[in-house]
Amino acid sequence: KPYHTCYLLKNETYLLQNTYLLQNDTYLLENDIYLLKNETYLLQNDTYLLENDTYLLKDETYLLQNDTYLLENDTYLLKDETYLLQNTYLLQNDTYLLVNDIYLLRNTNYLTNTYLLKNEVYMNKTCQKHTYLLKNDNYLINIYQNITYLCRGIL
């Protein structure tokens, strides 16, 4: 197994071939990729490659696997431009678990989404552009233009 050319610097830091040590313990790898002190890679256009194939973009947005973006406040932007809000979980088969054990079962048409409540009662209220699910007058789920919003409040 061939070995790469390694350099031992004064501070006992090893540099591989075509790798440069910059200030602040930052390594310049090939193709303008920077390896930072905390084992984070800085790619071109100010994008950080974190662990688990997660990218930290310039606007402080995380790009996760399967083209999912992690926005502020624990909000996920999925590949199909659907937002998962805080305390919302994406289960298998494109099923969303919302707060208070409310499940959003995703169908092909966003205007005909079906909601599964904790007591296995399905509720489907469909308007022309909006779909609402009310439970104890506390939660409103508004689906419009392929974007899912979860709002707290009393109508």
What global pTM score does this model have? 0.17
Q: What is the pLDDT of residue 82?
A: 43
H, E, C per residue of 87-125: CCEECHHHEEEEHHHEEEECCCCHHHCEEECCCCCEECC
Picking from 98, 129, 130, the residue whose alpha carbon sits closest to that of residue 115 is 98
Band of residue 129 on the pLDDT scale cut at 50, 70, 90? very low
Q: What tokens appear for 37 in the block?
A: 């002190």
- For 2-21, letters b (16+ CB in 10 Å) and e give eeeeeeeeeeeeebeeebeb
Q: What is the pLDDT of residue 99?
A: 44
Band of residue 118 on the pLDDT scale cut at 50, 70, 90? very low
Q: What mean pLDDT value characterizes the chain?
A: 42
Q: Which residue in this structure is represented by tokens 């084992």?
A: 39
Ranges 4-18, 34-48, 130-144: which has the least confidence: 130-144
- The pLDDT tens digits of the residues spanning 51-65 come to 444 444 444 444 444
Residues 147/82, Cβ–Cβ less than 8 Å:
yes
Mean per-residue pLDDT for 7-14?
Answer: 42
